Amino acid sequence: MESLFKSITVDLAIIIEAGAAVIIGLAAIEATVRAISLFFRRVASEQSKEDARLRLGRWLTLALEFELAADILRTAVAPTWNEIGQLGAIIVLRTALNYFLQQEIDKARQRDLAQRPA
């Protein structure tokens, strides 16, 4: 029974990671198309460039949440302290990256709200 639980949990983590990979891939394609479009415009505003960058950042933040969920599942079934330590380090790095991405998105949102006419 325990081995079945571990197998299901690992398979679920793989599916969640695949979902994150799809999100990252699609977001990168969308950002590339937007960037190329902006590059070839005669006048591309800084706001348009910032919007494209922040949109990519939002998708990456979502994908990082999926990756973190997969890491948590793997930690639940990690058989050795070494693997638990490695997964813990990955979780800390992904959480920190996600935190700073979210901070930048929040700051950009505040700048955008401050620049809008009342």
Kindly state the DSSP code that residue 117 receives in the 8-state scheme.
-
Contacts with 61 (C-beta within 8 Å, 6 or more apart), sequence order: 98, 101, 102, 105
Q: State mean pLDDT over 6-21.
A: 95
Angle, alpha carbons 36-40-43 (nearest 5°): 120
pTM to 2 decimals?
A: 0.78
Locus of tokens 């394609």: 29
Say what the pLDDT of residue 118 is. 61
Say what the pLDDT of residue 12 is. 96
Range of the domain at 9: 2-115
Number of domains into which the chain is organized: 1
Longest dimension (CA), the chain: 64
CB 66 within 8 A of CB 98: no
